[in-house]
């Protein structure tokens, strides 16, 4: 393969939301489906990308995790646990793959103005703008800008880092 055709940046955004999984009632298969999707499959995709990035001698992996990795919500044990695990996995990959010029970082969005939020699916609008110091809910562009930073050469010396995009909710 020619190096010009090797992968530069991988953004991992897929997730199983594990909504309404009551911890005393959730079937273990449903719980593990969240864990496998959010941790296992993200690892497999990152590893496959890293093989190309290693050959190239550079690359960036950006995980979209969540502020739920640090601030948990009710009946979301599998989701919150998996998002927290992604933070540790990203830091571990940064240590393991840094010698190959591969950077690994995380973007932690809070609530985002999506159709789910607009239509109040599963009471998504409980996350009202007035709960954030900026009194605003993030839009797609806010998250995309954070991802762009980690994927660009502007962050060439940044790895194992986290960037929270939640209007200050974690503060």
Q: Is 79 a catalytic residue?
A: yes
Cβ contact 50:59 at 8 Å: yes
Residue 164's H or E segment, with its range, is: strand 162-165
Q: What would you measure as the largest C-alpha separation in the chain, in angstroms?
A: 53
Q: Which residue out of 79, 100, 131, 149 is catalytically annotated? A: 79
Residue 11's H or E segment, with its range, is: strand 9-12
Cβ contact 96:54 at 8 Å: no
Q: So which residues are the catalytic ones?
A: 79
């Amino acid at each position: 393969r020619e190096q010009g055709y090797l992968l530069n940046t991988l953004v991992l955004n897929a997730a199983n939301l594990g909504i309404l999984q009551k911890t005393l009632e959730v079937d273990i298969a449903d719980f593990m489906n969240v864990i496998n999707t959010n941790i296992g499959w993200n690892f497999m995709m990152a590893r496959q990308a890293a093989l190309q990035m290693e050959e190239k001698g550079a690359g960036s992996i950006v995980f979209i995790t969540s502020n739920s990795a640090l601030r948990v919500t009710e009946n979301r044990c599998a989701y919150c646990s998996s998002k927290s695990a992604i933070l540790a996995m990203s830091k571990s990959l940064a240590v393991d793959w840094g010698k190959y010029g591969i950077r690994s970082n995380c973007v932690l969005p809070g609530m985002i103005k999506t159709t789910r939020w607009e239509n109040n699916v599963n009471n998504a609008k409980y996350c009202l703008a007035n709960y954030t110091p900026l009194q605003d809910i993030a839009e797609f562009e806010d998250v995309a800008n954070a991802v762009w930073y980690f994927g660009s050469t502007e962050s060439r010396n940044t790895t194992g880092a986290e960037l929270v995009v939640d209007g200050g909710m974690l503060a």
